[in-house]
Amino acid sequence: MANLADKIELYLKDMLGRTADGFVVLQRGTLAHIFSCAPSQINYVLTTRFTVDRGYLVESRRGGGGYVRIVRLGLETEGNFRHIMSELIGEEVAPERCRQIIARLEEEEVLTKRECALILGIMAENTLAAFTAHPRRLRAALLKEVLTTVCRDDLNPDD
């Protein structure tokens, strides 16, 4: 059985999937009431499961009329995702962040499960450490190249 954080995450993803706007606006207190939990549990889910790495932007305003807006970032070539990912990757990437980014690409059906496994195998710490004293730098360069390739128009099978 899924834990409370998993249930909240699935609920929010379902809400996002049902909206044509690409975002939802909610109140922490309302969610906390629905799940019979403290608002801090909602905050935990938002900060750990709805990150930019995973393809979400969370905006919030606290107080009486406060709200939480969860925006699903698009992967379209003309969108902001490639720019945001480039900013997030920077000069170095930790293995966990790499896994999150690749998982997002699989979730968006940009990459297949097999492609994700291949990429993660290539970018594994023990693989990269065998070739360089700076595996996080090499992983960042490889990940940027993967994202650039994935975002190329001429490789899009729908064209």
Each residue's pLDDT tens digit, 6-48: 999 999 999 998 988 778 999 988 999 999 999 899 999 999 9
**70 or 151, higher pLDDT:** 70
pLDDT at 77 over 50: no
Is 110 exposed, middle or buried, given 0-12, 13-18 or 19+ CB atoms closer than 10 A? Answer: middle
Which pairs with CB-CB distance under 8 Å and at least 24 residues apart come from 48-53?
48/5, 49/5, 49/9, 50/9, 50/12, 51/100, 52/84, 52/88, 53/88, 53/97, 53/100, 53/101, 53/104
Q: What is the pLDDT of residues 83-131, one digit of tens each?
A: 666 666 778 999 998 998 898 888 878 889 999 999 999 999 999 999 9
Ordered by where they begin, the domains of the chain are 4-72 (3.30.56.130), 81-155 (1.10.1200)
